[in-house]
Structure 1
Amino acid sequence: MALTSKKIQTGEVVSDTQFRLFPIFNEVDLSRIRPLLNQCRKELINTGDVLLRPEFRNDCMYLLLSGRVAVSLENLDATPLLELGSGECIGEMSVFDGRNPSAYVKAIEPCEVVVVEKDILWQLIDSSHSLCRNLLYFLSNRLRSGNDIVAVSKSREKEQELAANVDALTGVHNRRWLQGMLENMKGHDLMDRLPLAVLMLDVDHFKNFNDTYGHKSGDLVLQMVARIMRKSLRPSDMLARFGGEEFIVLLPCTPAEQARAVAERLRKAVANCKVSAEQGVELPSVTISVGVSPLQENESVDQAIEAADEALYLAKHNGRNRIELRS
């Protein structure tokens, strides 16, 4: 049995009033099952004592008369999934299915419990139709509650995954997301993705802009550039902040000349956009340089990105605020 460091109160009978604390005894004729109830013992549990562990078999259902327990999944030190208080049943599932408990249950304050051994529990079920019905209702609610907890947990996981894959400043995907996308593409035949083009974009003289007008103004510029690109690109296009003032765009089903036209449209849109700082102060316009790299046959996307980066370097070397197509 998983219970540890317990103090047994011998000779103390659990009263009808105490049993009525538990919904499983609603409308149950306790007088008919009193001989069985008298075989259930009352125990005191100290703070920190463990009632259930997944490592150990459990053959008892615990009725929590008073106190509170914490339920956790990973280990005893993990953040509790939930807390249970007076009137709750504990351990019934492992009794019914004969498997080890699925969670850790630990007292977080002194508790008083009624211990119902497995054989007694089955005899109670055989002896009372009302108790059996109440247990079914209780288990249905417990399962529904568990499903709700799982749904909330999955929702939080999705939120955390989204946060991990989205750049907090600009709201576009980040480099981590891009790496994941590229990993998914590896090992697949890229011919059905041709023509595909890669754009590498960089805000011109961004360091000087930051040094002159401050990082807050620089952040506004990056947000503006990201906003223009999201508005200008197709839903199927893949945009990510590559790092610093650099962005990357993957354009599926886009031949070289069309990719160049997209890059030129983005360049003009950024150059013509005004940025206002705090209190409506207008900042100087910024420009971008773009390297364009259509994916070649028998070439990986990583290689196309490298070629786009080389084209971007050439665009900046040749005067900035311009487009360069890979050689």
Structure 2
Amino acid sequence: MVKSPLPRGRGPVAITGGSGRLGASLTFYLVSAGIDVRVLDIDPPTHGIPCDFRRVDIGRDLDLRPTLEGCWALVHLAALHGPDLLKGVPRRSFWSVNVDATARALVASADVGIARFVLASSTSVYGSGSAEGMAARVLDESTPVAPENIYDVSKLAAERLAQNARTDQLATVALRFGRFFFPSQSDYHLRKLSTGLDVFDACQAVMASLTQSLNHRSLYCVASDLPLDRASRERMGTDLEGVLESEVPGFVARIRKRGWSLPPRVGKSVDSSLIRRDLGFRPVRTLARLSGDPAAAPMTSAQSAEDSLSVSLLGPGGSSQETLADAIGWSRKRSPTC
């Protein structure tokens, strides 16, 4: 069980979209730490984790104050995503759900005395990776954004709203999450070479945002990335195997033993150095674990149980036509969002 770092007596943490993939895992993570959770969603959660469920349509309900009364913090996960574009969801719906609803959530949070507001954003706002033969793009908080669709634009607009809503009473932060869909074991893990984020590490980043001082920044990139320097990240665009052999000895041989195919390169690499430094975030589900690196943080039995539940909650999502190469961004094609 994760030990709660929150003082006793604080109200529950509200999670919009708490019945979704990340929301369900985050509910489990927080409840395991002894933190009360209020799930705000259209559909009730099916995971069986004890929580206070309130039925909310984030895109339609104009007044969120009644559902937030008594809460100490709000984690705003509810959103439309890139795959919803492929399903034909109208572009205007992205603005309504991802931007207008965020504005209402921020106003309601301020009105009822919420102290922390954590916004889920996405590294998708940086656009595609580099072309073949080029150094990989390093994605951090200073990297220029390159939105490619309405999803990206709506996430950037929501970030700006959250930043502008910061006051002495309401601390806000946007977390640009890497991709955490689970099409397969190999895809889920090898994506961590580029923009991948393990759902357990995503939960850790939210916990850090709830418990640590947010005086440093209002925006962080979050990934289950290896702690590489910038030069090594860039070199993954031209010599991925060489970088891995140097930085994670044994990894290449181990994944080949699993029957997985290492891509020849990656086009982009998320650098989570700032959230590590400022908030003490330490991703424990990086590829160093697969390599058998003794320096990798050991997984406790509780974390192992949480990992099993997280995988079952995530399910085999993603497109069946999506290739591993496209998924981790090394081809010339545009990488999937989220």
- Structure 2 length as normaliser, TM-score? 0.22
Larger Rg: 1
Query: Which of the pair is proportionally richer in strand?
Result: 1
Structure ranking higher on relative contact order (CA contacts 8 Å, 6+ apart): 2
Query: Which of the pair is proportionally richer in helix?
Result: 1
